[in-house]
Amino acid sequence: MSTQEAVIKVEGLTVQYGDNIVLDNVSFEVYRGEIFVIAGGSGCGKSTLLKHIIGLDIPKAGNIFINGINTTNIDDDEMAKLRRGIGMLFQGSALFGSMTIGENVSLPLTEFTELTREAMQLIVKMKLGMVELSGYENHFPSELSGGMKKRAGIARAMVMEPAMLFLDEPSAGLDPITSAEMDILIKKINSGIGTTMVIVTHELETIFNVSNRIIMLDKDTKGIIAEGDPRALKEHSRDPKIRNFFNRQPDRKKN
């Protein structure tokens, strides 16, 4: 659980592409050791927000601080150094099909460290073991199921021992049982080594199963319409958009 020490601060973030404003004046904090979820309906800017937090895109306005460093005004070398302390699982796992699982997982070690091959192999085995993929070092991504690819992606994201882990729709495309197993793995990693996690998802089961705290984005207002414990929001919010989302009720105005 959180120690209430903010390791990520987003202040007045505005994202705009041409004339289209996606996010307008968004502010929030993520605390050390918590599982923080960015939720909301399709097209509300969840993945866009995540990309800006990790520095893949530059905002129109506002500031983003990671461990006190303002990522909106540092150079590429400083940003690359900062990224070594964070791990990222993309929606499609982003594994290289021509490389084995072991080679995929060891890629950050090969690029950013001077470890021996033996040391890298040992670390890879440890990380694959953590995600229950022991013995799959020599398999190719095409030989793995969707859930296994996601877990391999998490192993690669964790190989540099990051203090923060970002996951973009970790349950997308998975069947209910595999999705539940992913939720268990996320909680296991968080409780076992205290990794701060920021997760983008619209899956209600995942939101209720893993999150300590959430923000909910809204496409119409282009900002945050709810923040806090999702269970409390479901039970007590008076905002119809929030109630509809958490209770899987369609917006009657659109029908």
pLDDT by residue (tens digit) across 210-240?
A: 999 999 999 999 999 999 999 999 989 989 9
Q: What is the mean pLDDT of residues 9-21?
A: 95
Q: Is residue 161 within 8 Å of 189, Cβ to Cβ?
A: no
Task: Report the candidate in 160, 157, 90 with the shortest Cα–Cα distance to residue 123.
Answer: 160
pLDDT at 254: 55
| Percent of the chain clearing pLDDT 90 (strictly above) | 77
Q: Which long-range contacts (CB under 8 A, 24 or more apart) does 27-31 make?
A: 27/62, 27/224, 28/215, 28/224, 28/227, 30/6, 30/196, 30/198, 31/2, 31/3, 31/4, 31/5, 31/6, 31/7, 31/196, 31/213
Backbone angles phi, psi at 89, to 5 degrees: -105, 115
pLDDT value at residue 6: 95
Residue 92: band (very low, low, confident or very high) from pLDDT cuts 50, 70, 90: confident
Tokens of 154: 């998490």
Return left, alpha or beta for 62; rule: phi > 0 is left, psi -120 to 50 is alpha, else beta: left
The model's confidence at residue 138, banded by pLDDT at 50, 70 and 90, is very high
pLDDT one-digit tens code per residue, 22-65 = 999 999 999 999 999 999 988 899 999 999 999 889 899 999 99
CA end-to-end span of the chain:
41
Tell me what pLDDT residue 255 has: 47
Residue-wise pLDDT for 153-184, tens only, equals 999 999 999 999 999 999 888 999 999 999 99
- Measuring CA to CA, how many Å separate 81 from each of 6, 64, 224? 20, 16, 30
**C-alpha closest to that of 184 among 159, 206, 154:** 206
pLDDT for position 1: 47
Coil, helix or strand at residue 119: helix
Structural domains of the chain in order of their starting residue, each with its CATH number: 1-85+198-255 (3.40.50.300)
Question: What pLDDT does 195 receive?
Answer: 94
Tell me the pTM.
Answer: 0.91
The model's pLDDT over 119-137, given as tens digits with 9 standing for 90+, comes to 999 999 999 999 999 999 9
Answer for the pair 84, 160: CB distance below 8 angstroms, yes or no.
yes
For helices 176-193 and 146-158, give the axis angle rounded to 10 degrees.
Answer: 20
d(CA 68, CA 47): 23
CA distance readout (Å), 96 to 19, 64, 105, 140: 35, 30, 10, 9
Please report the pLDDT score of residue 2 as a whole number.
44
Mean of all residue pLDDT scores within the chain: 92
Residue type at position 144: L
DSSP single-letter state for residue 219? T
Structure tokens at 212: 């300590």
Per-residue confidence band for 252, with pLDDT thresholds at 50, 70 and 90: low
Q: Are 157 and 94 in contact (CB under 8 A)?
A: no
Mean pLDDT confidence for 82-95: 88
Q: For residue 136, count other CB atoms closer than 10 A to its CB.
A: 20
